Homo-oligomer: A and B are copies of this chain.
């Protein structure tokens, strides 16, 4: 038994209910569901009833039928595993309608166990040698190309001034460009272009595979010269982000991608808010750059939702270091001014498949984007 000087962490739930009394009853059900998961009358007295069961705070009424309730939990219900922290925050309650996670306060004890991002905005800027201004990140695609074709694209993008060369999240270990061959080719091309053009571009290699392969592949990418890794927590789980962010030998920044997470934010009355999913949770896990679908692209997030994500990524009061929001989709030279006005300076702009329209002159397109972002920043 531990306990004593530990500080409880708090999760804020939005509960959809007919009355305040019903909302409070549901909150007490959540406090039990997320911890002991037994009927209230059989909770053992003492430590379990007093510490382990969640404790319901005051409910605040929002719009009609909407109540925001804080529930605090003991760090002992978590231990030191990120997966179990998420399990307590929203494991079984994720399967109940009318409950949305809207906030998280780690408290001192959980903050001590999960330090968050290793690099954050300042650390990534230092590695990419881009002290100010938005970072430009072309995405290497399409799937089905050879490793050499990807490497050629990467080389040209760095020549044009790219800060980050990001693998498409659909590049896994397919036969056309297996992971190791592809990673060596792209990282090698980025290194050559950096040397030739005096750049410090970072290649973020997409890490996929079986759980017991992931760490090994991340280190392979590092050995091959990658400047960071791309991870998909929706498919791999969040633990791998934490695992690599806290490995003293790994020491590379992490970018996270939203694949297979959409249902968590798309329903108004279940899941998590956009800010929680693509801001708070990514930062909690240790991501340095959080990718999300940009407003105006093909995903239908609103400007308000995108700004809430960016705010959660960069909130100075948030957990650990501030991180880069990285809106993907819909970025173009024409929209650069709007995007800079919306997101400000600390942002990684993904530039996707439209770049391929420029063929061998893809580097010029990257340079044009760099200029457009810098020009917009001077105006702002």
Which residues of A are at the interface with B, using a C-beta cutoff of 8 A?
Answer: 1-2, 29, 33-39, 41-44, 47-48, 51-52, 76-81, 83-84, 86-88, 90-97, 141-145, 168-170, 172-176, 178, 208-212, 214-215, 232, 234-240, 242-243, 258-267, 270-271, 293, 298-300, 352-354, 356-357
A361 smallest CB distance to B (angstroms): 13
Given contacts A77-B144, A81-B173, 19 further A-B contacts (CB under 8 A): A1-B176, A37-B170, A38-B356, A39-B356, A44-B144, A48-B145, A84-B172, A84-B173, A84-B208, A91-B232, A91-B260, A92-B169, A209-B239, A210-B242, A210-B243, A211-B211, A236-B239, A237-B237, A263-B263
- How long is the Cα–Cα vector from A9 to B88 in the complex, in angstroms? 37
- How long is the Cα–Cα vector from A232 to B43 in the complex, in angstroms? 24
Complex contacts, A141 vs chain B, CB 8 Å: 36-38
Most interface-central of A215, A261, A353, A354 (chain B CB within 10 A): A353
Complex contacts, A265 vs chain B, CB 8 Å: 95
Complex contacts, A88 vs chain B, CB 8 Å: 170
A102 smallest CB distance to B (angstroms): 14
- Which of B34, B79, B237 is the one whose CB lies under 8 Å from A236? B237
Complex contacts, A176 vs chain B, CB 8 Å: 1, 47, 76
Complex contacts, A96 vs chain B, CB 8 Å: 262, 298-300
A148 smallest CB distance to B (angstroms): 13
Say whether A42 contacts B357, CB under 8 Å. yes
Question: With A36-B142, A90-B260, A97-B300 known to touch, is A42 a contact of B356 (CB < 8 Å)?
Answer: yes
8 closest residue pairs by CB, A with B: A38-B353, A95-B262, A36-B142, A211-B211, A94-B262, A52-B144, A91-B259, A48-B144
- How long is the Cα–Cα vector from A284 to B261 in the complex, in angstroms? 20
- Copy number in the complex reads 2
Question: With A97-B266, A142-B36, A215-B212 known to touch, is A235 a contact of B237 (CB < 8 Å)?
Answer: yes
Say whether A94 contacts B52, CB under 8 Å. no
Complex contacts, A38 vs chain B, CB 8 Å: 141-142, 352-354, 356
A90 smallest CB distance to B (angstroms): 6
- How long is the Cα–Cα vector from A142 to B81 in the complex, in angstroms? 18
Say whether A353 contacts B36, CB under 8 Å. yes
Question: With A48-B145, A83-B236, A141-B37 known to touch, is A169 a contact of B91 (CB < 8 Å)?
Answer: yes
Chain B residue with Cβ nearest A90: B260
A245 smallest CB distance to B (angstroms): 11
Question: With A170-B88, A212-B211 known to touch, is A145 a contact of B44 (CB < 8 Å)?
Answer: yes
A238 smallest CB distance to B (angstroms): 8
Say whether B1 contacts A298, CB under 8 Å. no
Complex contacts, A81 vs chain B, CB 8 Å: 172-173, 208-210
- How long is the Cα–Cα vector from A234 to B69 in the complex, in angstroms? 25
